[in-house]
Each structure stands twice: as C-alpha cells, then as structure tokens.
Structure 1
Amino acid sequence: MQYKTWVSINRKAITHNAKVLRSHIQKKTQLWAVIKSNAYGHGLWHMAEALDEIGVDPVRGRARAKGTSPQDRGAATSNGVDGYCVDSVIEGAKLRLGGISKPILVLGPTFPNLLADAAAHNITLSISTMEALQELTKTIKDPAVRPSFHLKVDTGMNRQGFYLKDLPRTLAYIKKHKLPITGIFSHFAAAKDINYPTFSEQQNKQFLSAIALAKRAGFTNLTKHLAATAGTILSSKYHYDAVRCGIGLYGIYPSNELEAQLKREFPFQPALSWYARISEVKHAPAGDFIGYDFTERLAKKTQIAIVPIGYWHGLSWSLSGQGTVLAGGKRCKILGRVSMDLIAIDTTGSKTKVGDPVVLIGTQGKETITARELARLTNTTPYEIVTRINPLIHRTIS
C-alpha cells in the first residue's frame, strides 16, 4: 500500500544506539528505555519490540518471569535494555498486551481510576505527592494487590516530586501503611547544558541526601536512578542502579553542546526518517502569489510540487516560506504557508513527478535534513520536532 506520508524507523540504528549507551554505563547499572509519549514520535510498539530483541537471553530477556519489576537489581543485560519508562498506565498496558514482560515504570502521574489496572498489568508507578499516596491507600484496600511505586524527589527542577524537607513525613506514611515502595529517583533540570555543571552536582547531592533519609527510615533496598541521556553521558557517578535513556536511543543528542563535545565517544545514529509523496506538479508564472495570505510571490516561473502533508501531520507552521524538504536528491524550499494538510515546494529544474518520495527528516542523495535543523528553524527543540509527528501516521521498522 502507498501512503501519502509515513515514518520509517531504522532497527540497526536503534540497536547501535543501545549498544553505545550500554558500553558506557557500569555493568551493575540497568538501562531503561524511555519510550513515553509514543516513543518520542517513533512509535511505542515499534520501539519496544525492536529494543526487546536486543541482547535477549533466557534470564533477562522476554522470558523474564511474570511478577518481576524494576526493583529487581540483578546484573544488567549484555547489550539490550532492562525495562521501559512510559508516560501512563495506558501506554504500559499496551506493551503488556503486546507481550512485553520486562519491567515498566510510569513516569507521569496516575489517577485513582487506573491504579487497579497498574496492579493487574504489573506496572510500577511514580508517586510524587502525598495526595497520590493517600489515594493509593484509600482506593486499593488490600496491600497485597497494590501496584509498586518509585518515589520521586524534587532536587531543584520544581516540577514533580517531594521536596527534601517533606521526605521524613512522607517515608513515615509509607512505612505506617506498608505501601509497596521499590525505588527512589529524581531528574536533572539542565544536565544537557554543559554551562550548568554546578547545578547538576547540587542536584546529585540533594539526591544522595534523599537516599540517606530513605535508608534511615528503613528503606535500604530501593532502586535508585537519577540520569536521563544527558546525565548518563556526562558522568558515571550519576548512573546509580539504573539510567533512563530516551533521546539518545533515538540517535538525537540532548543538546548542541553535548553533540559537539561527545560525538566521538557517543556516535549516535538517527533512527527516524519521515517521508511523503508528491501528489501534483504544476508550473506557475513569475509574479503569482502562492498559498494562504499571499505571503510569498514568485520571482520567476516556478515548477511547483504539491506534497500532502501539513501542520496536522506535525510539520511546523513556522517552516512556512523558510523550511526545505528533499525531492529528487535536492533541497526544495517550502513556498508560502504550511497548510493543514498540504505544502507547496519549489522543484524548478528537476524531473520530479507525481508519486516521487519527499524527505522531511532523513537523507536523500547527498543531502540530509535532521530534527535539529528543523528545531533551529522553528526555535524549538529536536524533542518536540519528532514527538509532535502525528501518531496516526503509518510507521514501519526495518
């Protein structure tokens, strides 16, 4: 079947990136793949299936016994990942129903109506408020069937998590009600910005204090984790029992600075390519306007190719009149506005025809367009560029 637009995931790149990360973390440290939010636009199931096949062995691979969870701190897999981080119980349940048996940790908040589902699917939650702890106590009366959870500590990001000063009371509540805490973690605010190493170190010290408080309260066997991709590649002292890697697995560096500094040591390969097809070709005379609102006037007779993709699909409206795509092995400027479902591109001088492929992200001939390039043009981050690709678009992996 031919699609107007589709996303292709390179399995070899995913495997390569996982092995690069694995080779730089301590042997005792587990590697958890962050595939939340539709795997940053790469496709939740496609990524889980690809990662689950790396380094599979009868103990740590898909044959892991039902009932294990991220608190299992045995030796990490040789090349693959040890677990998955998702945004919601709904994402986690999709993985379980698809046959994924490795540990799953929900990073986002979970409301009371999904607590039983989390327990039923052996999904570990993140808890970052006293209200959530109280709901867990109240909603599921039987301690034996409550879902396990990791406690999130706010070490300076001021987003999710308990402040250090509130931990003694929080840990006392957990102990009193015998709640199934199995981990403790935090998140760096600016690890990808090498201009703020002092702040990351301050956060690490706060996290160490949180661990000490947990031990003092009697919780001595918790899984501890702090680093995402940026923290993982910055320093091994941030690795603890597990690292949570997302953007690096997809072959995108967390920041320009880290790419410039660590590209040789961490040679990530982009895994995602985004394509469309030309649906119409026409020739417009010089002086004609093109697209909505007459924002662009043709300086010369122009061959125009219409491509059925727009901001509904996730192509930023900010690329209007300035972005490029690849067609016929060449860069072709986007003419006028990016519409909801269509763009016009300048293919003057090429032999492009209806049905020819167009590259939005990826390589064609000697040209490459990266998510970082699009992020620079639209004043955003590569994370947003790939994550906002519409989940309804067909995805393949090969």
Structure 2
Amino acid sequence: MKSLNQVTISRSALEHNYLICQQLAGGAAILPLVKADGYGHGQLDCARIFAELGAAAFGVAEAVEGERLRKAGITQPILVLAGTLASTLLSLVEADLTPVLVDASFVSELSRLAGKLGRNVGVHIKLDAGMGRQGVLPEEFATAVQAVQRAEHVHLAGVMAHFPMADERQSESSAEVLRTFIATTEQLRQLIPEKCCLHLANSGGLFYVAGALFDMVRPGIALYGYYPDGAAGRAAAEPPLLQPVMRFTSRVLQVRQVPEGKGLGYSHLYTTSRPTTLAVLPVGYEDGYLRSLSNRGAVLINGQRAPVVGRVSMNLTLVDITGLGTVQAGDEVVLLGRQGQEEITADDIATWMETISYEVLCLFGNLNERHLVA
C-alpha cells in the first residue's frame, strides 16, 4: 500500500536542466552535486541520469554517499566535498573516492593507506577564497600543495573554491572571490609540473559570474529546476527556462462544513469568519510541511489555490475550499507543482517558510515516498 503523500521526480526535467547547464558551461566539464540524496530528488536515480548525459564527476558531502554511488555502478570520480576525518580515510580509499582537503592534516595518513592498498589517490584542495567556512587560506595554499607533492601515494588532481554570494547578480563578493582564486592558483605553475583541474562555479557562478567556468563547474540547485536567486531569477531568466523536477501531492482525506466563529486546530490559531468548507489533508510537519506554513501556505485543488487555515500539525493540515467547486475525499491535492494552469513552486513555499528552495526540496524529497517518472 502506498502513502497518500507522494513525491514524483521528472526524468525529462532533469535532462532538460542538465542540457541548459551544459550549454552555459561552454565546454567545461560538469560535476553534478548529488549530495543530500540529490537535494531530495534521489541520489542514485539522478546520478545515473546525469552519467548517461555525460557528467564528468559527481559531488557528495560524505564518503558514505560516495560508497553508495559506487555500489550502484557509478564509475566517474566522486568528490567528497565536506572534508573527511582519519576514521573515514580507509573507506574512502577502498571506494576510490576523491577527498577534498580542507587542510593538509591527513595527507600523510592518506598516503600511507593508499600505499598499503597499492593505490595512488588524487585529491582536490579546497581554497578559502572568501567563503570563510572551510578551506586553505591563500597564504597557506603553497604549503598545502607542497605537502601533497611530498606524499608518495597522493597527487594533486584539482583545486576548488566556493562562492558565498553567487545568488546575488553583479556581486562584488563574487568578483573578489574570482580574483583571489585566479591569483592564488597561478602559483601552481611553479609548484607542480602537471596541470590540475580548477573549479569554482556553483549554479550561481555558472549563471551569473562571468569568467568563473575554468575546467569544471558544479551545478546543484539548477539541475533540480530552480534558480539560485529564487523567483527573481526565474522572472529575469531568458528561455529556455529551468524546469522544476519535483512534484508533491496528497489526497483529500475529508470534506467538512463548519460554521462562522469556529476555532480550528491546535491553539485555535484560526477562527472562521463565515460558514466555511474545509478539506482535511493527511500531511503535516512529519512530511516536511512545516508548522511555519500555518495560516500562510496554500495548495492546489481543482486547479485553484486553497489557503492553509489553522495550525499545521504532525499529520493533518486544513485548507479552506469554500467556493472551489465540488471536492470529494480522495481528490488530488498538489502541495508542490502544477495542477491545471496553476502552479506552486518551491520558491513560493520557501517564501512562506522564510527559507530557500533548497530546504523545501530536501524536506519534501527526503521525508516522503518518491518515484521517478518520465
């Protein structure tokens, strides 16, 4: 038996978005980010589709995600982007994963383990070019590169950095990060004899920062159909537009009539101002439909928006369907996606939740039954 709450993932939309990113990359290799279970879209399904389309590598946060991809038959390089600990190095080498080094502390141990297994491990160094979160500072860069060069069973395969404000078009921060990245990586000509892969652009860098392509780009949110700057980005974009990949639906559990002056749900957060027709939905914060959507969110029923009324609870949500025509138990409800001519996007929901589309997609995709469709 299936849950009444279902997430569907569109293969055709994934393919469409990948091709848009590929065109913008202008020949740079594509490293799709499939961390966080593919931003809630299904890591394995998404990786297989992107591999078929020519993805050069993949990005995950933790080694365990990379191991999962290897077991599923993914053969491309898999970068472990969030760093690693000594306790995970052996598994990382055994699964042929590519560590992203945020400092040089594990280089010697990594080389020892790689030698023990008869491997030579390529690593990428993460440069803190302005993100301020992780990585080697510019003044530490040469020392980190030299530490890798001295290690017998490790070699430098790439250098990366990350934009903190690439979702802001014409950001001076992005321009400064780009300048720092270029100036710092120019040292590689004197430090190592061979060329290594340089990569900086996330989705925002790919779409909005001129000169940020280098050898490889790392799109994430764009692959899943959303612009880094949300609804404003979609409004400003030129065709072809990115296509949202995820749709989240439920079913009407009950239709009921209540009188004027009726308090609804926990805390009676909403009181009816007229005789009201309500639809009860079997969805709540357990499913990622957060309490912050109380009296703020909306769903689609009969191709029309129905506002959320009262407190969203763990498993139940009320919506006002007065005047929306005939609605019956079992009718489809769209929480995210299109129904008829109306659409609710992750950007809409993010506005109501006071967050970003990334969080909405991860919540819905990771907390509900999910299926890949054509």
CA shift, 1:95, in A, is 1.2
Distance 2:257 2:329 in 1: 14
The aligned residue for residue 276 of structure 2 is 302
Q: Which amino acid aligns with 2:8?
A: S
For each residue in 1:117-160, what CA deviation from the matched residue of structure 2 results, as whole angstroms up to 9, or x when unmatched?
22222111111023343553566563843643210000011011
In structure 1, runs of 5+ residues without a counterpart are: 55-79
Q: Give per-residue Cα distances to partners, 1:17-48, cap 9 Å, x unaligned.
A: 11111112222x10111111111111112211
Q: Any conservation in 2 of the 1:280–1:306 contact (CA below 8 Å)?
A: yes
The Cα offsets for residues 280-320 of structure 1, whole Å up to 9 and x where unpaired, read as: 22222221111111111011222221111111211121110
Which residue is equivalent to 1:361? 336
**Aligned residue number for residue 178 of structure 2:** 204
1:386 correspondence with 2:357: no
Helix, strand or coil for the counterpart of 1:12? helix
Q: What is the alpha-carbon distance in structure 1 between the residues aligned to residue 112 and residue 55 of structure 2?
A: 35
2:286–2:367 Cα contact (<8 Å) kept: no
DSSP 3-state at the match of 1:194:
coil
- Partner of 2:223, secondary structure, is coil
Q: Secondary structure at the match of 2:192?
A: coil
Q: Does 1:5 align with 2:5?
A: yes
Say what the alpha-carbon RMSD is for the aligned residues. Answer: 1.9
Question: Is 1:284 the counterpart of 2:258 in the alignment?
Answer: yes
Instruction: Please give the alpha-carbon distance, in whole angstroms, between the structure 1 residues aligned to 2:209 and 2:4.
Output: 44
Provide the C-alpha distance between the structure 1 equivalents of 2:243 and 2:369, rounded to a whole number of angstroms.
Answer: 22
Report the CA distance shift for 1:322/1:392 in structure 2 as closer, same or farther (over 3 A). Answer: closer
Contact 2:100 2:123 in 1 (8 A): yes
Structure-1 residue corresponding to 2:241 = 267
The C-alpha deviation readout for 1:235-270, integer Å capped at 9, x for no partner, is 452111100001111110000444343x11551111
Counterpart for residue 18 of structure 1: 18
Number of aligned residue pairs: give it. Answer: 370
Correspondence 1:107-126 to 2 at 5 A: 107-126=81-100
Instruction: State the SS of the aligned residue for 1:312.
Output: helix
Write the distance in 2 (CA, Å) between the matches of 1:206 and 1:235.
14
What is the alpha-carbon distance in structure 2 between the residues aligned to residue 390 and residue 397 of structure 1? 11
Residue 74 of structure 1 aligns with which residue?
none
CA drift of 1:275 comes to 0.9
**Secondary structure of residue in 1 paired with 2:285:** coil
Structure 1 match to 2:208: 234
Aligned position for 1:76: none
1:38-53 matches, within 5 Å, as: 38-53=37-52
State the match for 2:370 in structure 1. 395
| Cα drift, residue 390 of structure 1 | 5.3
- Paired position in structure 1 for 2:199: 225
> 2:229: which partner in 1?
255
TM-score (norm 1): 0.88
Local SS of the residue matching 2:58: strand
Contact between 2:310 and 2:318, CA under 8 Å: does it hold in 1?
yes
Answer whether contact 1:136 1:146 (CA < 8 A) is retained: no
- Contact conserved, 1:247 with 1:253, CA < 8 A, in 2? yes
CA contact (8 A) 2:169 2:209 kept: no
* Aligned residues of 1:118 and 1:147 also touching (Cα < 8 A): no
- Secondary structure at 1:136's aligned position in 2? helix
2:68 paired residue number: 94
- After superposition, the Cα gap between the structure-2 partners of 1:259 and 1:390, relative to the gap in structure 1 and judged at 3 Å, is closer
Residues 319-398 of structure 1 aligned to structure 2 (within 5 Å): 319-349=293-323, 350-389=325-364, 391-398=366-373
- Alpha-carbon contact 1:125-1:150 (below 8 Å) kept: yes
Aligned equivalents of 1:221, 1:145: Cα separation in 2? 20
Contact 1:183 1:224 survives alignment (8 Å): yes
- The 5 A counterparts of 1:115-154 are 115-137=89-111, 142=116, 144-145=118-119, 147-154=121-128
Q: Deviations over 1:327-380 (max 9, x none)?
A: 122111111011112111112233222221111110111210011111112221
SS in 2 for 1:145: coil
SS at match of 2:370: strand
Q: Specify the SS of the correspondent of 1:16.
A: helix
The whole-number CA distance in structure 1 between the counterparts of 2:272 and 2:312 is 16
Please state if 1:183 is matched with 2:158: yes
Task: Report the identity percentage.
Answer: 30
The match for 1:214 among 185, 188, 197 is 188
Structure-2-length-normalised TM-score = 0.93
* 1:193 partner amino acid: E
Which of 267, 271, 289 does residue 315 from structure 1 map onto? 289
Distance 1:305 1:127 in 2: 52
**Distance in structure 2 (CA, Å) of the matches to 1:222 and 1:266:** 33
Cα deviations by residue, 1:34-80 (Å, 9 ceiling, x for unpaired): 111111111112211222333xxxxxxxxxxxxxxxxxxxxxxxxx4
Q: Residues 174 and 209 of structure 2 are in contact (CA less than 8 Å); yes or no, is this contact kept in structure 1?
A: no
* Cα distance in 2 for residues equivalent to 1:296 and 1:118: 52
Given candidates 169, 174, 177, the residue that maps to 2:143 is 169
| Partner in structure 2 of residue 58 of structure 1 | none
Partner of 1:36: 35
SS for the counterpart of 2:93 is helix
